[in-house]
Structure 1
Amino acid sequence: MSKPTVPIPAATKLRAMLAEKDKVVVAPGVYDGLTTRIALETGFDCLYMTGAGTTMSRLGMADLGIATLNDMVQNAGMIASIDRSVPVIADADTGYGGPLMVGRTTAQYMQAGVAALHIEDQVQTKRCGHLKNKELVDEDVYVARIRAAANMRAASAGDIVIIARTDALASLGYDAAVSRLKKAIAAGADVAFLEAITSEEQARRVCQELSPTPVLLNMVAGGMTANISVQKAKEIGFKIIIYPILSMGPMYKAVKDAAKELKETGIVERSAGADVSAKQLFELCGLNEAVEFDIAAGGSLYAKGV
């Protein structure tokens, strides 16, 4: 009997993708098993676990630093487990504490099979990067967070791509924000993330100044960064683009329309998705594979079909 193929670790795969000269990694935001399955079915080769989506879907609350390490790592691990061949980039907020806690966060994300995490320089009671009046920690505190993540990675069996995010652009200005990123890279970060870029000029400049370190672009619908196409972002020099609320906006509109139709008419037949059956959704989420697995193991519960 041939030995099973050993899967390529998620971080290794993401590093290879970043090393491809003409590739830009496009990662749609997902926040649960269903949105993950949809993104995988569509053919994306990398996913992004959104912190905002995790907070809203698991807690029903706005992205104001309420989610804990346990909330985030459990969700990230579930998403990463659905298809180990597709790397998952996950929000890790501020790292959830001082250096010891950041180290613990990094270790748990690695154990969960996450390919990359990003850590930012906001205070613990953070808020979404595209909201106003964000408060920052001192630069040395931020750099210590990144160094703690890098040190834990070095001391562990495994790998994870460390993404350094700064929210300093709005309050401290471009030069100070890029200075923070440069120091984070020196402390062990693999990718730079300048949050809430406000112009194409800034976008080009940060990619050039931080080269050859890959730079990530955050595309938040309705946020502070103007909508940039994948092709344009690639031409500017970005290596990763994440779309944190890609799943949430369409879901909100479609579910609200269906709920409104049911409330007003007593039936759902015109709203988007009204013709999608429960079995179709089950099949999206691995129904056929589960049945095949059960039968192959000698089970009989599904032998006559489902």
Structure 2
Amino acid sequence: MLYAESTAAVKRAGFRERLSSGELLRFPGAFNPLSARLIQQRGFDGVYVSGAVVAADLGLPDIGLTTLSEVAGRARQIARMTELPVLVDADTGFGEPMNVARSVQELEDAGVAGVHIEDQVNPKRCGHLDGKEVVDEQTAINRIRAAVQARRDANLLIMARTDSRAVAGLPAAIDRMKALVDAGADAIFPEALTSLAEFEAVRAALDVPILANMTEFGKSELFTVDQLRDVGVNIVIWPVSLLRLAMGAALAGLEELETAGSLAGLLPRMQHRADLYDLIDYAGYNAFDSGVFNFTLEK
């Protein structure tokens, strides 16, 4: 009932332990706390909070318009609702190195298990669009150093994302990844790789966990979990998938209302009331309420 029983510290420690095992962890992107609960119910390994999804949920493009408060607030809502570790997209850290440090502490306080900081020029843009720019290597290093220095829980995962593959090519991107690991990054997010061979090359070059972003309609082919496991990927995210599915279903519902005047024909495609009540533990709340108000007034 209410929120997760596991503390943030426990979830972080568990996340670290599973990452150290070398297994591949599956982190679908949640667009709200309820979808995070569904991800947990279906047996996934963690929950991802995408900056693109936070922006889209606010009706904004993913170009650095969201604030630290907005991202931390949504991350907190999601992290407290699930027993799973939550990895959050912290964009460029919302400013200079001191801002990065504050961002890390705010997100740590929000209860997440990990954050990733990227090396795009601020304001950033979607990692799978053309025309991206990245900062110089020293600026990227300074962001990661600030993030590592700022965390108070040593188990908070600091992941460095680099968008340099699309800007400078894979060899230069791998050199930057190595420099970011040397700066203290616990894991690497190589954005917009184009083939399994590229993931394999990154794996061969690094001795820290690596993440694969399987976003739809992007630069990367939608590889399967098995394919990514075979080339040594440790975490795979589907950042916007659930939001895209939900919005597609919402559009279909509105179109049905326009044409048929009723949603009776779409009932089989809806989450049933009983399933929703099970997901939010309606019975648990009812039992709690009954237990609190189980007294009678003496006459």
Q: Same fold per TM (> 0.5)?
A: yes
Partner of 1:304: none
Q: How many residues align?
A: 290
Aligned residue identity for 2:36? T
CA deviation after TM superposition for structure 1 residue 37, in Å:
2.0
* Cα pair distance change 1:273/1:92, threshold 3 Å: farther
1:77 aligns with 2:76: yes
Partner of 2:213: 218
1:205 aligns with 2:201: yes
Aligned residue identity for 1:62? P
Aligned Cα root-mean-square deviation (Å): 1.9
CA contact (8 A) 2:163 2:190 kept: yes
CA distance, structure 1, for counterparts of residue 160 and residue 99 of structure 2: 16
* Length-normalised TM-score, structure 2: 0.92
1:68 aligns with 2:52: no
Give the counterpart of 1:237 among 206, 220, 232: 232
* Cα pair distance change 1:276/1:26, threshold 3 Å: closer
SS of equivalent residue, structure 1 residue 271: helix
Segments of 5+ residues of structure 2 without an aligned counterpart are: none
Aligned residue identity for 1:241? V
CA contact (8 A) 1:88 1:114 kept: yes
Partner of 1:12: 13
CA deviation after TM superposition for structure 1 residue 274, in Å:
5.3
Segments of 5+ residues of structure 1 without an aligned counterpart are: 302-306
CA distance, structure 2, for counterparts of residue 118 and residue 247 of structure 1: 20
CA deviation after TM superposition for structure 1 residue 285, in Å:
2.2
CA deviation after TM superposition for structure 1 residue 195, in Å:
0.3
Report % sequence identity.
Answer: 34
CA contact (8 A) 2:16 2:155 kept: no
SS of equivalent residue, structure 1 residue 30: coil
CA distance, structure 1, for counterparts of residue 270 and residue 75 of structure 2: 31
Partner of 2:261: 266
CA deviation after TM superposition for structure 1 residue 278, in Å:
4.2
CA contact (8 A) 1:207 1:236 kept: yes
CA distance, structure 2, for counterparts of residue 275 and residue 26 of structure 1: 25
CA distance, structure 2, for counterparts of residue 44 and residue 31 of structure 1: 15
Give the counterpart of 1:249 among 221, 244, 252: 244
SS of equivalent residue, structure 2 residue 63: coil
CA deviation after TM superposition for structure 1 residue 35, in Å:
1.5
Aligned residue identity for 2:139? V
CA contact (8 A) 1:91 1:118 kept: yes
Matches for 1:273-284 after TM superposition, within 5 Å: 275-278=270-273, 280-284=275-279
Aligned residue identity for 1:294? D
CA distance, structure 2, for counterparts of residue 276 and residue 118 of structure 1: 33
CA deviation after TM superposition for structure 1 residue 300, in Å:
5.5
1:108 aligns with 2:103: no
Aligned residue identity for 1:149? A
- Structure 1: 4+ residue segments shifted above 3 A: 5-8, 272-280
CA contact (8 A) 2:196 2:228 kept: no
CA distance, structure 2, for counterparts of residue 217 and residue 270 of structure 1: 38
* Cα pair distance change 1:264/1:198, threshold 3 Å: same
SS of equivalent residue, structure 2 residue 155: coil
* Length-normalised TM-score, structure 1: 0.90
* Cα pair distance change 1:54/1:267, threshold 3 Å: same
